[in-house]
């Protein structure tokens, strides 16, 4: 097809760069492993943190107590609620809790029974380790049981004294959680966009560096530039080769997300929404314009910097920049506006989030975001071609 327009040399350059760099086995394999890091990390987060933060069932809850013989009423109450009570005779409770043997231990003092009988207030201790994230749910449940027991006893005592129990309880608090059922997994799902965009910016970056700054440093750029083809065609050939590698890396990441999400679903710890193959195909398409943009920026940086090392430094920082809005969005979900669709990487972060959460992305937004990013890419490519035309391009300064 390129022949018809006299552009076949672009294809020749791209094919050579692909062949050359595919032979660099180590870099190729590494570039296909990097994209898997995001999905694996996200999968682990869902698996472990998700499991920790999801509340265990009451029937599975065990209250560990020392001195339960002092408080038969409490034990009965807990069992009535469906949880279980276990007596511990450990000497060093603090150590046991710190080591995670028990998430929390309730300690009834020796004078508890007496105080209870006399209707006196008595302090009981709850031994916890607040630095253990995995204990949060168990602690909460134990505290809740103690509070409920407290309330029930107080009410029955007030009733005995002929008082309305409400007198001692001016307010009752009930929190209403309006987050969708995917609240926790939703946070993880929101991270997918920024992760993917990070992949976009590192997927083919070493190729962009190697084919421009690397070629200059090896001294093969000068003879290459003497060949009879316009420099913009040479630049575009290298651009397309880098773009192909970027696309491959992003594709690897997207496939890995699908595999891991489905795998989590099979394990039963899955997310409440499981995006379909079609959703992931759409997500990949959404990243294509950013891939084009990312490689264009990489070509410019690799052309204007003075050395291979300098290029690496700048391009190493580059992936962090577009991830910033996405990272902010993870914690502060902003209302998507038409304007945000025009911002490359930002619009796509929103769109990927919408697709992955199963909300679907409006066609208008898809076109607007893709169109705007591609338009900016074209400007950048013109710029890259101009930089390629400078005579300094051939020489390490």
Residues forming contacts to another protein in the complex (CB under 8 A) are: 9, 12-13, 16, 19-21, 23-24, 215, 218-223, 225-230, 391, 394
User: DSSP of 217-234, one letter per residue?
Assistant: HHT-HHHHHTSSS-HHHH
Decide whether 1 or 363 has the Cβ nearer to another protein. Answer: 1
Report in angstroms how near the CB of residue 251 gets to another protein at its nearest: 24
Q: Are 242 and 208 in contact (CB under 8 A)?
A: yes
Q: How far is CA 202 from CA 37, 191, 358, in A?
A: 12, 17, 27
Report in angstroms how near the CB of residue 230 gets to another protein at its nearest: 7
Residue with tokens 């129990």: 165
Rounded to whole angstroms, the Cα distance separating 112 from 91 reads 19
Which backbone phi and psi does 189 adopt, to 5 degrees? Answer: -60, -35
Report in angstroms how near the CB of residue 387 gets to another protein at its nearest: 15
Rounded to whole angstroms, the Cα distance separating 354 from 361 reads 6
Decide whether 12 or 41 has the Cβ nearer to another protein. Answer: 12
Q: Are strands 84-87 and 104-107 parallel, antiparallel or unpaired?
A: unpaired
Report in angstroms how near the CB of residue 258 gets to another protein at its nearest: 33
Q: Are 42 and 192 in contact (CB under 8 A)?
A: yes
Report in angstroms how near the CB of residue 391 gets to another protein at its nearest: 5
Decide whether 4 or 23 has the Cβ nearer to another protein. Answer: 23
Rounded to whole angstroms, the Cα distance separating 26 from 35 reads 15
Report in angstroms how near the CB of residue 216 gets to another protein at its nearest: 9
Angle, in degrees to the nearest 10, between helices 363-388 and 231-267: 140
Report in angstroms how near the CB of residue 210 gets to another protein at its nearest: 10
Long-range interactions of 226-235: CB distance < 8 A, separation 24+? 229/9, 229/13, 231/385, 231/388, 231/389, 231/393, 232/385, 232/388, 232/389, 233/7, 233/9, 233/10, 233/13, 234/9, 234/13, 234/388, 235/299, 235/303, 235/384, 235/385, 235/388
Report in angstroms how near the CB of residue 234 gets to another protein at its nearest: 9
Report in angstroms how near the CB of residue 52 gets to another protein at its nearest: 48
Cβ count near 31 (within 10 Å): 22
Decide whether 223 or 268 has the Cβ nearer to another protein. Answer: 223
Sign of CA dihedral 159, 162, 168, 170: positive
Structure token pair of residue 390: 């400078």
């Amino acid at each position: 097809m390129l022949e018809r327009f006299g552009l076949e040399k672009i294809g020749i350059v791209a094919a050579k760069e692909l062949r050359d760099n595919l032979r660099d086995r180590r870099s190729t394999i590494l570039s296909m492993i990097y994209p898997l890091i995001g999905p694996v990390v996200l999968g682990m987060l869902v698996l472990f943190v998700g499991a920790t933060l999801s509340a265990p069932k009451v029937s599975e809850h065990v209250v560990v107590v020392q001195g339960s013989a002092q408080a038969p009423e409490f034990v009965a109450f807990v069992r009535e609620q469906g949880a279980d009570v276990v007596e511990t005779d450990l000497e060093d409770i603090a150590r046991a809790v710190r080591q995670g043997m028990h998430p929390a231990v309730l300690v009834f003092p020796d004078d508890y029974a007496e105080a209870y009988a006399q209707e006196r207030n008595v302090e009981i201790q709850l031994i916890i380790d607040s630095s253990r994230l995995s204990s949060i749910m168990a602690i909460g449940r134990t505290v809740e049981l103690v509070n409920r027991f407290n309330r029930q006893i107080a009410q029955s005592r007030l009733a005995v004294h002929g008082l309305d129990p409400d007198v001692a309880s001016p307010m009752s608090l009930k929190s209403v959680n309006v987050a969708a059922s995917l609240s926790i997994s939703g946070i993880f799902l929101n991270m997918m966009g920024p992760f993917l965009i990070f992949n976009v910016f590192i997927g083919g970056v070493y190729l962009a560096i190697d084919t421009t700054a690397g070629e200059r440093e090896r001294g093969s750029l000068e003879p290459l530039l003497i060949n009879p083809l316009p420099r913009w065609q040479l630049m575009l050939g290298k651009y397309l080769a880098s773009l192909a590698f970027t696309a491959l890396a992003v594709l690897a990441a997207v496939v890995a997300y699908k595999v891991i999400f489905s795998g989590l679903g099979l394990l039963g710890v899955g997310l409440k929404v499981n995006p379909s193959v079609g959703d992931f195909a759409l997500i990949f398409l959404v990243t294509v314009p950013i891939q084009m943009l990312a490689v264009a920026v990489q070509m410019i940086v690799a052309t204007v910097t003075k050395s291979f090392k300098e290029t690496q430094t700048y391009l190493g920082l580059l992936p962090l920049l577009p991830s910033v809005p996405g990272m902010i969005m993870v914690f502060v979900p902003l209302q998507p506006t038409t304007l945000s669709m025009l911002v490359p990487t930002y619009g796509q972060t929103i769109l990927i989030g919408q697709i992955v959460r199963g909300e679907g992305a409006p066609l208008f937004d898809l076109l607007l975001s893709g169109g705007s990013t591609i338009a900016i890419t074209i400007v950048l490519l013109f710029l890259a071609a101009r930089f390629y035309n400078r005579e300094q391009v051939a020489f390490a300064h």
